[in-house]
Amino acid sequence: MKKEIKIICTLGPASMKDWVIARLAESGANLLRINLSHTELQDLADIIRFIQNRTSVPICLDTEGAQIRTGNLLDGKTYLRENSIVRVPGYAVPGDSHNLNLYPMDIINELEIGDFISIDFKAVLAHVVDKESDCVVMRILAGGLVGQNKAVTVERDIVMPPLTMKDREALAIGAEMGIGYVAPSFMSQASDLDKVRAISGQDVFVISKIESLRGVTNLEEIAAESDALLLDRGDLSRQVPIERIPRLQKDVIHRARKSGAKIYVATNLLESMITIPSPTRAEVNDIFNTLNDGADGLVLAAETAIGAYPVHCVTMVSRIIKQFLDFPNGYSLEELQRKDFFLLVEPHGGILANRVNADFDTKNIKGCKTIKVKETVLSDAEQIAIGTFSPLEGFMNKKELESVLRDYRLPNGEIWPLPIVLQTGKEEAQKLEIGDKITLADENTGKEYAILYLDDIYTNDLDRMARETFGTDDLNHPGVQLLKKQGEYFLGGKIELIKRWPSEYKHFEMTPRQVRTIFETKGWSKVLGFHTRNVVHRVHEHIQMAAFEKYNCDGLFLHPVVGPKKKGDYCTGVIVKSYELMIDKYYPEGKAFLSAFQSYSRYAGPREAVFTALCRKNFGCSHFLIGRDHTGVGSYYGPDDARKLFDYLGDIGIVPIFFGEVHYCAQCNAYIEQCEHGSRNILSISGTEGRKMLASRESPPDWFMRKDISNLVSDELEKGSEVFVR
């Protein structure tokens, strides 16, 4: 059984948001910490309620403890000039460079002339030079910028009570509100714990913070009265030179584990990620070595409380923990070479297929048999090769096809809904033999793009296949038409891609590996995929953003189909331009990414809805939008058919998000599925209607399509650009 390593996240301004709390929980946070040093007592109950209403992840109250801090400053910070005199009164003053408070205020009674005082982790060094009845006078020996509520260290050990009055009141509030975890600061002896449990309850889980030399000295007795220990390397470095902290950390962890106590480690784990989305190598190494020392948990503080990338930080720690636990004996060469996408869902079947041979020597195809095929076949071959159709590695043999048609599964049990086959005529098939290496060439240019390693030649009843695939054998169905035209023989076998299909928009056609790399670079782990063959209209935009917000997604993956289309469909160029415009002006900044899908519509309704979802799973999407008539045509499929098939198949590793027919209500001025207002106010929006209006030079109203988008299409038509497939 693997060791459980906890991730404790501190909440603050950067993370006290609905979607961030949800994402922290999903990314691996086990405990959410409220730092009482940075929380006003009057706000505490509301903060606890806010968190409890949004997640079941437990909350931990982290006390201020026996610590001296700077008081409030007029501008939140001030510069203390070297050799200047600063007065520290025992009453409240507007803090500045000449007068400031220390907290608790009565601490000045404990200070003595000659004391050296470090402020804000040694940003400033001061010397007590005089004492008055209600004031201490300090001379600044080393100047610098200090902030309010920052740590202050007196060189001489001053004994302070383990809990402040604020701590006592906060723990009492926590006990009333069911808080089950507390982390008392600066625990220096076992008896300190009695005071904590007296307020929080005997059953509370106490994580005693070791952050002083007295705490280190008395570690075993503190461990005996605690449920866990927390080594705070930051506060400890106020008393211990920083170069001694690594060795001391190993010693503290060893002693804690020997005492039978859980031990967590805090401070500066991912400090660089407060401002940038990636850690330094030193930080990753520090975390790994901390785990290797034996730590049972890791604490993120500023990284998740005030940093710009709180979710990135948790996912990064989760990634490091996974590597530590999954590879206790190191890596094999194969494991080192394999690209893992930890943040993202696994590819369908567990691994992305790769049948691309970029170094293929064309001399090797001399003497091979060649068959000329349509663009649709070469499109399928390319998507198989780059991993879009994973786990497929070639065109289906008879056993695979029958299994998919009958059970929606491959013979190995992996869900797969749609035939991916290579058809040919009888005359062509009779020239071939199993074991042949066959080049697949474009029927128009004769250029070779792939090799088929033939392992099966078979026939099939096309009418039966049509009914099982499309639910009909009606020749008016475009999918049935295509099936019947391609020939009654089928060729099965693995493929090898030797050249990608050329396209004006090839730079948009990224492979699943490339897209996954982009998602990981952006720190996205919850990605919403969207499949379309239309220019974007208002309903598309509405369902995209409604799903994006409801499921707390990190990114929106816009993936329009750019392969062969039927007459009247939008051409690739105008679709791409419409989404580029949307990303530039309307989608949340940095949250949408556009790529192109070199494929074509089969119009297979429910089967194709599952197929398009699995393809986006291979690109790294965790969620996928299923529209009212997703990949359907005419009236061949009912509005709930896709949902029924997803329900029948169960969990496929990507979450389908269903929308019914969304209308615009003029009375509500909103896009909704149902409304109480009369039919006069309910206005329909569809891609088909949009194409008809624009093709006839009619500009759709703004509620139907953004003016920027309709103007873009109109401008392209005026320029004579090919906007619709002829």
Q: For this structure, is 607 an active site residue? A: no
Instruction: Say which of 397, 439, 469, 532 is annotated catalytic.
Output: 532
Tokens 């730079």 belong to residue: 507
Radius of gyration of the chain (CA): 33
Instruction: Say which of 319, 516, 533, 691 is annotated catalytic.
Output: 533
Cα separation of 129 and 141, whole Å? Answer: 11
Cα-based distances in Å from 599 to 59, 649, 718: 48, 24, 28
3-class secondary-structure state, position 452: strand
Let me know: does 403 contact 468? Beta carbons within 8 Å: no
Cα separation of 438 and 34, whole Å? Answer: 65
3-class secondary-structure state, position 458: strand
Q: Which of 178, 102, 94 is nearest to 137 (CA)?
A: 102
3-class secondary-structure state, position 644: helix
Tokens 């039966």 belong to residue: 464
Cα separation of 418 and 246, whole Å? Answer: 57
Omega before 391 within 30 of 0, i.e. cis: yes
Cα separation of 91 and 524, whole Å? Answer: 50
Q: What is the DSSP string of 582-639?
A: HHHHTSPTT-EEE--B-------THHHHHHHHHHHHHTT-SEEEE-TTTT--TTSS-T
Tokens 């913070």 belong to residue: 209
Q: For this structure, is 726 an active site residue? A: no
Backbone angles phi, psi at 88, to 5 degrees: -120, 95
Helix residue spans in 142-269 (DSSP H): 165-176, 191-200, 213-217, 219-224, 233-236, 245-258
Q: Which of 333, 345, 192, 399 is nearest to 655 (CA)?
A: 345
Q: Which amino acid is at 430?
A: Q
Q: Which of 157, 179, 196 is nearest to 65 (CA)?
A: 196
Q: For this structure, is 533 an active site residue? A: yes
Cα-based distances in Å from 330 to 5, 286, 363, 393: 19, 17, 41, 30
Q: Which of 27, 86, 21 is nearest to 55 (CA)?
A: 21
Burial of 194 (0-12, 13-18, 19+ CB in 10 A): exposed
Let me know: does 212 contact 235? Beta carbons within 8 Å: yes
Cα separation of 89 and 106, whole Å? Answer: 9
Tokens 């289906």 belong to residue: 396
Structure-token pair, residue 196: 């904590």
Instruction: Say which of 39, 397, 534, 631 is annotated catalytic.
Output: 534
What b/e sequence results for 450-485 when a residue is b if at least 16 CB atoms lie within 10 Å of its CB, and e otherwise?
bbbbbebbbebebeebbebbbbbbeeebebbebbbe
3-class secondary-structure state, position 288: helix
Burial of 143 (0-12, 13-18, 19+ CB in 10 A): middle
Residues 6+ apart with CB under 8 A from 156: 112, 115
Question: Catalytic residue positions?
Answer: 532-534
